[in-house]
Amino acid sequence: MSLRRSLTIHKHYGFRSRFLSMLFMGIKHLNYLVPGFFINRRSVILRGNSFAGIHHKTQLKLDHSQIIIENGTLKAGIDYGYYDGGMFDPARDVCRIHLINSTLRIRGDVSLYPGVCIFAQNAEIIIGNGTKINGTTQIIAQEKIEIGEHCNVAQGVIIRDNDGHRISTDGSLPALTCLPVIIGNHCWLGQRSMVLKGVTIHDNVVVAAGAVVTKDIDRDTLVAGVPAKPLPGRVTWED
Ligand SMILES: CC(C)(COP(=O)(O)OP(=O)(O)OC[C@H]1O[C@@H](n2cnc3c(N)ncnc32)[C@H](O)[C@@H]1OP(=O)(O)O)[C@@H](O)C(=O)NCCC(=O)NCCS
């Protein structure tokens, strides 16, 4: 697709969006253009001063679903990830967003790095301003997953609010358990960590690499291990 095509796509969103598209796509990411589905206002809603920069290989399936961007920019599949280096190839590590009867709500500026997969069914996913989701992370929702502001979700993290299968240890087969996951502001989820259903992680928490979080975590805490347990002290970290 040419730059002209991208302008055509954005004509529905007024001068500011078009200008940003030119600037953003034309100078910084010449090859990355917004796919045509963006002209469908019913699926992608830009509120306030909002903008979407989506790598053209990003796979978007929106079945009776919406992406709502509120006063910010959603970047999907166009940042390179780790140290801005060659960890991920946007053309190969494709971002996938598949929503069924669901809403993905972007509050402010949010980056989904190449290879991020977001799946939601009858669910809501909210991601706050300044949050970066690194490559190959998976977010799987059947109820609600909320990630706060200025969080750093490392590579290969899994966040899910359901088990995916019915399970019990007493011979019965109850309904699938889906419990909301809430992650506060300024949290860092280390590489290949996992956050499971029903967990609330309060503000300023660091989850060590490979940890599996099954219980709520108090603010200012570093947790590690399987299952994740708090380590002594009050954590501070810098993005
Ligand atoms: C959490 C982390 C930052 C802690 O680093 P640190 O402050 O230097 O901590 P230390 O290495 O001194 O470890 C402190 C204790 O926690 C334990 N620990 C640290 N990381 C752990 C992990 N991932 N799993 C289990 N235990 C861990 C250590 O064994 C040590 O235990 P001890 O006191 O019994 O010896 C680091 O271990 C980590 O997991 N980094 C994540 C890196 C990452 O994912 N980067 C992605 C970039 S976006």
Is residue 200 predicted with pLDDT exceeding 80? yes
Whether 77 is covered by a domain: the verdict is yes
CA distance 143 to 161: 7
Ranking 33-42, 120-129, 167-176 by mean pLDDT, the lowest is: 33-42
CA distance 226 to 74: 33
Whether 98 is covered by a domain: the verdict is yes
Closest CA to 17 of 48, 42, 41, 43: 48
Ranking 35-44, 67-76, 102-111 by mean pLDDT, the lowest is: 35-44
| CATH number of the domain bearing residue 94 | 2.160.10.10
pLDDT of residue 81: 55
Core vs surface per residue 149-161: b (16+ CB within 10 A) or e: bbbbbbbbbbbbb
Nearest CA to ligand 1 atom 6: 208
Residue of 10, 12, 150, 165 marked catalytic: 165
CA distance 143 to 239: 29
Ligand 1 nearest-atom number relative to CA 190: 44
Whether 153 is covered by a domain: the verdict is yes
Nearest CA to ligand 1 atom 15: 231
Is there an atom of ligand 1 within 6 Å of 208 CB? Answer: yes
Whether 238 is covered by a domain: the verdict is no
**What's the mean per-residue pLDDT of the chain?**
84
CB 203 within 8 Å of CB 186: yes
Q: Which domain holds residue 114?
A: 15-166+173-230
Whether 3 is covered by a domain: the verdict is no
Whether 26 is covered by a domain: the verdict is yes
Whether 1 is covered by a domain: the verdict is no
Q: What's the pLDDT tens digit per position in 183-195?
A: 999 999 999 999 9
Whether 101 is covered by a domain: the verdict is yes
What residue type is assigned to position 234 of the chain?
R
Q: What's the pLDDT tens digit per position in 4-52?
A: 333 333 333 445 544 554 444 433 333 334 444 443 445 888 899 898 8
How many structural domains comprise the chain? 1
Given pLDDT bands bounded at 50, 70 and 90, which one contains residue 78? confident
Structure tokens at 57: 């290989």
